[in-house]
């Protein structure tokens, strides 16, 4: 057995080569998709009292107050059960006063996901009666279970939280709107967020109008809740670190237990062969992602797959160390000015945060 070698500022050199995401093709059973509809690890411990409002943004303080009251009001007949679905009940719970849904309206990095996860944690119901997922994860669930089975699975829930509600795919929007209509009829409370499109005047006010228009008949069930503020990921933090050399990234991958090491173009090719619903499983057990030769994303389909991977890495707090171009040059100007630009800006913001987290992997 070879001996490990110490490197100043790093863990001992690993005795085995790092993982390769390109070598993994995980299979994810449908029941895992349902069981994993909880706040991701990054937001597992957040609560309303751990949200730090910007003192210059009174809407953030008001949001905590309103959402706390909304959670308290969700303590209903089937919120105190033992995980049995509502179809066992002979009568419907009494309808709650006011809208059964809330829409968190604001720009990037103002803490909407923190607040949404806090709402999930604060709602007085067993975890099996609450669901939390992104819009993409919800559409993937429908794809895995079928529409009717998804309705049956979620209709016994007290609360469904949808993070990053997406309005840029009319087909998916209609699908999810139909699903939510059925769930509202079953008495399920709803909460959702979506990011304002960069460059839109009025910021979230236009996002709220778009959201309520696209969900059409559901709009009366949502109360828009405005959250102003700047991106907390850049509040008092340094700029994203410059990319490292291929040698630094490779050495860090070998020195970090549980790290993966992949050539960026090869990883993009691999993502085309793995369904996005499996990207979370693709990172199971991975403690750091190391990428060499980061280049501009060649086309929109590839870019959208990368966005999903960035979300899963961010959810799991997996640092990303990279060589090549900085992450703010991943997407072309045409992409950043197009219909999917909100996704690309979100991916840049999240990958930048993960790049900061990875600084400690490199020997100084």
Q: What is the 3-state secondary structure (H, E, C) of the chain?
A: CCCCCCCCCCCCCCCCCCECHHHCCCCCCHHHHHHCCCCCHHHCCCCHHHCCCCCCCHHHHHHHHHHHHHHHCCCCHHHCCCCCCHHHCCCCCCCCCCCCEEEEEECCCCCHHHHHHHHHHHCCCCHHHEEEEEHHHHHHHHHHHCHHHHHHHHCCCCEEEEECCCCCCHHHHHHHHHHHHHHHHCCCEEEEEEECCCCCCCCHHHHHHHHHHHCHHHHHHEEEEECCCCCHHHCCCCCCCCCECHHHHHHHHHHCCCEEEEEHHHHHHHHCCCCHHHHHHHCCCCCEEEEEEECCCCCHHHHHHHHHHHHHHHHCCCCEEEEECCHHHCCCHHHHCCCCHHHHHHHHHHHHHHHHHCHHHCCC
The per-residue pLDDT for 39 is: 94
Q: Which residues contact 169 (CB under 8 A, 6 or more apart)?
A: none
Q: d(Cα 28, Cα 275) in Å, to the nearest integer? A: 10
The per-residue pLDDT for 222 is: 79
Phi, psi of 57 (to 5 degrees): -125, 85
Residues 147, 178, 158, 60, CA torsion sign: positive
The per-residue pLDDT for 319 is: 97
Which parts of the chain register pLDDT below 50? 1-12, 77-97, 196-206, 237-238
Q: What is the pTM of this model?
A: 0.72
The per-residue pLDDT for 99 is: 59
Q: d(Cα 23, Cα 306) in Å, to the nearest integer? A: 17
Q: d(Cα 352, Cα 114) in Å, to the nearest integer? A: 18
Q: What is the Cα Rg of the chain in Å?
A: 21
Q: d(Cα 193, Cα 150) in Å, to the nearest integer? A: 21
The per-residue pLDDT for 132 is: 97
The per-residue pLDDT for 237 is: 47
The per-residue pLDDT for 33 is: 81
The per-residue pLDDT for 94 is: 43
The per-residue pLDDT for 231 is: 62
């Amino acid at each position: 057995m070879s001996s490990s070698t110490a490197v100043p500022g790093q863990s001992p050199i690993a005795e085995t080569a790092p993982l390769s995401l390109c070598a993994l093709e995980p299979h994810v059973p449908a029941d895992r998709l349902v069981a994993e509809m909880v706040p991701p690890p990054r937001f597992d411990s957040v609560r309303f009292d751990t949200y730090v409002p910007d003192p210059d943004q009174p809407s953030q303080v008001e949001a905590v107050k309103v959402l706390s009251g909304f959670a308290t009001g969700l303590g209903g007949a089937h919120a105190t059960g033992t995980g049995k679905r509502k179809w066992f009940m002979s009568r419907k719970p009494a309808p709650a006063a006011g809208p059964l849904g809330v829409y968190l309206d604001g720009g990037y990095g103002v803490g909407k996901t923190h607040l949404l996860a806090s709402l999930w944690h604060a709602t007085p119901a067993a975890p099996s009666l609450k669901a939390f997922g992104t819009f993409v994860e919800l559409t993937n669930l429908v794809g895995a279970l079928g529409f009717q089975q998804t309705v049956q699975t979620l209709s016994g829930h007290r609360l469904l939280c949808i993070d990053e509600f997406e309005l840029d795919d009319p087909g998916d929007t209609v699908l999810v709107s139909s699903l939510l209509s059925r769930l509202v009829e079953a008495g399920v409370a709803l909460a959702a967020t979506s990011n304002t499109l960069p460059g839109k005047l009025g910021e979230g006010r236009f996002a709220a109008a778009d959201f309520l228009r696209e969900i059409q008949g559901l709009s009366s069930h949502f109360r828009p809740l405005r959250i102003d503020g700047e991106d907390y990921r850049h509040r008092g933090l340094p700029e994203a670190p410059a990319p490292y050399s291929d040698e630094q990234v490779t050495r860090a991958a070998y020195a970090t237990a549980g790290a993966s090491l992949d050539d960026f173009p090869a990883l993009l090719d691999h993502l085309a062969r793995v369904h996005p619903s499996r990207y979370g499983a693709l990172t199971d057990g991975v403690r750091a992602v190391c990428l060499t030769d980061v280049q501009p994303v060649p086309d929109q389909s590839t870019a959208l797959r990368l966005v999903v991977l960035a979300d899963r890495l961010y959810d799991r707090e997996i640092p990303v160390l990279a060589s090549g171009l900085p992450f703010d040059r991943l997407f072309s100007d045409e992409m950043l000015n197009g219909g999917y630009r909100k996704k690309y800006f979100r991916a840049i913001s999240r990958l930048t945060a993960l790049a900061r987290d990875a600084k400690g992997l490199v020997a100084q």
